[in-house]
């Protein structure tokens, strides 16, 4: 049984460029995540395919809304293609609507270039003291805000080094480098300075947040700092982690998921390997015969929006720990050979 957690962000002032639709699949394939422009009605898509059931979420205010889609027939990313239909996939350009003014970015590049030239002029002294790369602590009052540095790093314009580089993906060596020698605040990086905690927050200390146009998970460490839990720069393979996070942290979502799986399991006799039976055409036809009842039960569910928590004004420092190894995945993610028809601008994992 493959299910999709769908999220609609209605941005402040109903900004359509920043508002978006995200799908995260509970499947260990690549890709299992995608970002799309909102439909014209700003609502979750209604699947035309009869083999997909869905909850019905009312999107009537600013915030992040959630809906669940499931199918006993469609696998991996193909379920997203059935739901998204003719929607515009913006996964590769998701950050565009959130970018800083070009003058700020050009100003930061100029500041880094100027600082690097000064370093070259004093190359012997700087090499002796280990100061060959400009340090961010020397950039007070310049255009190089945390958000601008993050954007330039995601674009591959600058190479971020130092202990506190966890807020950007691994970057290739470029002619411009900066040493992040003191931590940024997560609140300066994520949308509206907010994270979305859930019912299991006290136990796992993980929260969702919109970062560079994508939905990511961040973990609050024992030291009170924040560390990305999902892959930065390789968002198309984060779907399973986001779906699992929803199961662990949002009770109405997990309850609906479990009830749906339980209902299909009961059709199978309540015993045996459900996934194995879902490969059997005869069993699939049997589930189809119960489709109207399943749809009726699922459509009655109304999932509540995510609850935002402002971290502005708090100590929300980025951690200097090593990123997580994503060991929570019980299987190795596999690539889909036919991905070209769903994600033409494929980025290899």
For residue range 267-296, what is the model confidence (pLDDT) as tens digits? 766 555 666 666 677 776 767 777 777 777
Range of the domain at 271: 2-92+250-306
Do 45 and 75 lie in one domain? The reply is: yes
With respect to residue 245, please indicate whether it lies within any of the assigned structural domains: no
For residue 213, is it within any domain?
yes
Residue with tokens 């502005």: 312
Q: How many angstroms separate the CA atoms of 18 and 97, rounded? A: 5
Same domain, 18 and 50: yes
Residue 339 in this model has a pLDDT that exceeds 50? no
pLDDT tens for each residue of 139-166: 766 778 999 999 999 999 999 999 899 9
Other Cβ atoms less than 10 A from the Cβ of 221: the count is: 14
The total of structural domains in the chain comes to: 3
* Pair 106, 63 in one domain: no
| Alpha carbon distance 257, 280 (integer Å) | 22
Q: Tell me, yes or no, whether 139 and 37 share the same domain.
A: no
Instruction: Please give the Cα distance from 99 to 148 (Å, whole number).
Output: 8
Residue 318 and residue 288 share a domain:
no
Instruction: Provide the pLDDT confidence category of residue 349 given band limits of 50, 70 and 90.
Output: very low
Q: Output the pTM of the full model.
A: 0.87
Q: Are residues 127 and 221 both part of a single domain?
A: no
What average pLDDT does the chain have? 84
Q: Are residues 292 and 178 in the same domain?
A: no
In a domain, 131, yes or no: yes
C-alpha angle 337-84-309 in degrees, rounded to nearest 5: 105
| The two structure tokens encoding residue 193 | 């300075």
pLDDT of residue 338: 40
Give the pLDDT score at 9.
98
Note whether 19 and 120 are same-domain residues. no
Q: Is residue 167 part of a domain?
A: yes
Measured distance CA(189)–CA(179) in Å, rounded: 18
171 and 199 share one domain: no
Instruction: Assess whether 312 and 220 both reside in one domain.
Output: yes
334 part of a folded domain: no
Region 73-100: mean pLDDT is 89
Residue 76 inside a domain? The answer is yes
* 263 or 286: which leads in pLDDT: 263
By the 10 Å C-beta count (0-12 exposed, 13-18 middle, 19+ buried), 27 is classed as: buried
In this prediction, residue 233 carries a pLDDT of: 92
Asked whether residue 337 is domain-assigned, the answer is no
Of the listed ranges 125-129, 303-307, 308-312, the least confidently predicted one is 125-129
- Same domain assignment for residues 317 and 234: yes
Whether residues 42 and 166 share a domain: the answer is no
Look at residue 302 in the predicted model and tell me its pLDDT. Answer: 84
Classify residue 33: in a domain, yes or no: yes
Among 236, 233, 232, 202, residue whose Cα is nearest residue 217: 232
Beta strands in 121-181 (DSSP E): 159-161, 177-179
Summarize the confidence of residues 2-20 as an average pLDDT. 95
Question: C-alpha distances in angstroms, 85 versus 20, 80, 132?
Answer: 15, 8, 51
Predicted pLDDT of residue 125: 56
pLDDT at 272: 58
């Amino acid at each position: 049984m493959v299910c999709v957690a769908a999220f609609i962000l209605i941005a402040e002032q109903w900004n359509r460029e920043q508002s978006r639709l995200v799908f995260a699949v509970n499947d260990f394939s690549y890709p299992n995540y995608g970002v799309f422009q909102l439909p014209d009605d700003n609502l979750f898509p209604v699947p035309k395919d009869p083999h997909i059931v869905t909850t019905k979420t009312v999107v009537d205010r600013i915030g992040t809304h959630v809906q669940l889609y499931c199918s006993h027939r469609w696998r991996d990313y193909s379920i997203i293609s059935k739901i998204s239909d003719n929607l515009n996939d913006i996964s590769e350009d998701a950050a565009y609507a959130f970018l800083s003014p070009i003058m700020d970015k050009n100003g930061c590049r100029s500041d880094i270039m100027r600082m690097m030239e000064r370093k070259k002029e004093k190359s012997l002294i700087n090499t002796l003291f280990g100061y060959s790369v400009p340090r961010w602590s020397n950039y007070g009052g310049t255009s190089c805000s945390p958000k601008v540095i993050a954007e330039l790093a995601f674009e591959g314009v600058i190479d971020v080094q130092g202990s506190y580089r966890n807020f950007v993906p691994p970057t290739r060596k470029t002619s411009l480098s900066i040493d992040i020698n003191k931590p940024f605040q997560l609140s300066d990086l994520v949308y509206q300075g907010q994270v979305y905690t859930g019912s299991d927050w006290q136990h796992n200390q993980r929260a969702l947040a919109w970062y560079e146009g994508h939905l990511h998970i961040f973990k609050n460490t024992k030291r009170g700092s924040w560390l990305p839990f999902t892959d930065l720069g390789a968002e198309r393979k984060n779907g399973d982690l986001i779906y699992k996070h929803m199961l662990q942290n949002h009770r109405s979502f997990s309850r609906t998921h479990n009830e749906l799986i339980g209902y299909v399991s009961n059709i199978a006799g309540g015993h045996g390997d459900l996934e194995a039976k879902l490969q059997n055409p005869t069993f699939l036809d049997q589930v189809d015969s119960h489709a109207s009842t399943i749809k009726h039960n699922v459509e009655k569910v109304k999932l509540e929006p995510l609850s935002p928590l402002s971290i502005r004004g708090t100590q929300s420092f980025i951690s200097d720990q090593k990123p997580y190894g994503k060991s929570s995945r019980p299987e190795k993610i596999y690539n889909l050979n036919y991905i070209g028809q769903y994600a033409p601008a494929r980025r290899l994992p």
